[in-house]
Amino acid sequence: MGGRLLPLLEKKSYRVRCLARNPEYLRSKASSQTEIVAGDVLNPESLNTALQGIHTAFYMIHSMGSEQGFEDLDRQAAQNFGQAAQTCGVQRIIYLGGLGDSEEELSPHLSSRHEVGNILRQFKPQVVEFRASVVIGSGSLSFELIRALSERLPIMITPRWVFSKAQPIAISDLLDYLLAGIEIDLPENKIFEIGGSDQVSYGDLMAEYSKQRGLKRVMIPVPVLTPRLSSLWLGLVTPLYARIGRKLIDSLRHDTIINDHSALEMFTIKPKGAKEAIADALRKEEKEFVETRWSDAISSSGVEKNWGGIRFGNRLIDLQSRRVAVPPEKAFKPIQRIGGETGWYYANWLWKIRGFIDLLVGGVGLRRGRRHPEKIGIGDAIDWWRVDVYQPNKRLRLLAEMKLPGRAWLDFEVERNENGSTIKQIAIFDPIGLPGVLYWYLIYPVHDLIFKGMIRKIAKIAEDSRSDHQSDKN
């Protein structure tokens, strides 16, 4: 959420300071006007430095990914932050918590979310707490759960929590509330319950997501499936790993709906319904890859590397990287010539076989070639790919137009480093349903061979151009 909020704050010309345990992770995501400082909410001394001169602080921290008792860590973190904010003269803390009826016996996760707000309110800074249910948007932990279950399981054996009621909010609406929390005039601390216009179950959300993705899904409810068994099940079929899954599922059995509607009265924001929120999330992904994901957060990092590549949300990714001792314009030259008569640099016979198979099933195959051996423009065809993004000497992203059970991209990026350039080659596959997932894993050994060989040859050609350049000079 912080990664989504940062560019909006920068766009509104606020002076922003970001607190991070690993500042280098933020360097490429923040503008030059944003100050990035090292600190840790579990290290009180670091907070006193970070919060000096701050008027409004956003607090969006949790410890669900920790192996220790997350409630104790969250309690200590909130205590440290509240004390430091008071000492440094912070005027307002905007805290993002979770919906849930405080009169009920809540799960440890939801109870901890409420307790953190109570702890922050013990100190002098005014606290504006927003309590939200499921956040609909790529990167949200709950949305990735809904997405992965819908995409990967044609038949779902669903436990009772699938029928719990929620009031999901579009991520754009949530960000609007957070931004509005900066300027709103309030006489004292205030809790706002926020959500979309619909009260729906998780089953309803999965059904709507499946409908919009063109997937046919069957849900079979079962009376008993313990949080532990559910979390292990989720770990097999979703990006969640069991430790987070168990804590999350324990909370999903509670209804998370709005009882206090004061947010609708005090803000001009008109939240979207669930259908529109899901459509917005999918449209955004059609235009660009997600800005942030729940696994970007160090506290909940569960990104896996295995024989099948990196699982990144619903997408499956193969990332290859090589450093070459030439400037970016020379490192990019072989990328600019890829496809057509030049070929794909490694195992071209395998590319031709794949192209022939594509022709047999009604695809475009390799017959289109490319319009020019070197010149590239957005929208150009390169064999069975279409140029999706092109930045000279920096980036080429190709969108696959072959017959596939999903969507695929091949992305090349070149960045300058201290000794020359770094070439990144990223193959991305967004599978549709279980057939798409099976396709990726069945063909991955071949892809792994091709992708490694391809970037190795691209790097060699780039390096060889250095020798040619030196010979020309001599």
CATH number at residue 45: 3.40.50.720
Single out the residue in 282, 302, 322 at which a domain terminates: 302
Single out the residue in 260, 283, 302 at which a domain terminates: 302
Report the domain count for the chain: 2
Tens digits of residue pLDDT in 96-136: 999 998 878 888 889 999 999 999 999 999 999 999 999 99
Euclidean distance between CA atoms 421 and 462, whole angstroms: 10
Phi/psi for 49 (5° steps) reads -70, -45
Same domain as 459, residue 434: yes
Tens digits of residue pLDDT in 10-61: 999 999 999 988 887 777 778 888 999 999 999 999 999 899 999 999 999 8
Same domain as 176, residue 126: yes
Instruction: Give the residue from 22, 89, 21 showing the smallest Cα distance to 57.
Output: 89
Euclidean distance between CA atoms 424 and 427, whole angstroms: 10
Nearby residues of 78 by Cβ (< 8 Å), 6 or more positions away: 41, 59, 115, 116, 119, 120
CATH number at residue 417: 3.30.530.20
Task: Give the pLDDT confidence score for residue 301 in this predicted structure.
Answer: 39
Which residues of the chain, if any, have pLDDT below 50? 241-243, 290-308, 312-313, 469-474
**For residue 220, what are the β-bridge partners?**
157
Task: Give the pLDDT confidence score for residue 326 in this predicted structure.
Answer: 95
Single out the residue in 286, 302, 318 at which a domain terminates: 302
Q: Is 365 left (phi over 0), alpha (psi -120 to 50) or beta?
A: left
Cα 142–chain centre separation: 12
Helix %, strand %, coil % for the chain, to 5?
Answer: 45, 20, 35
Same domain as 285, residue 327: no
Cα-Cα end-to-end distance for the chain: 55
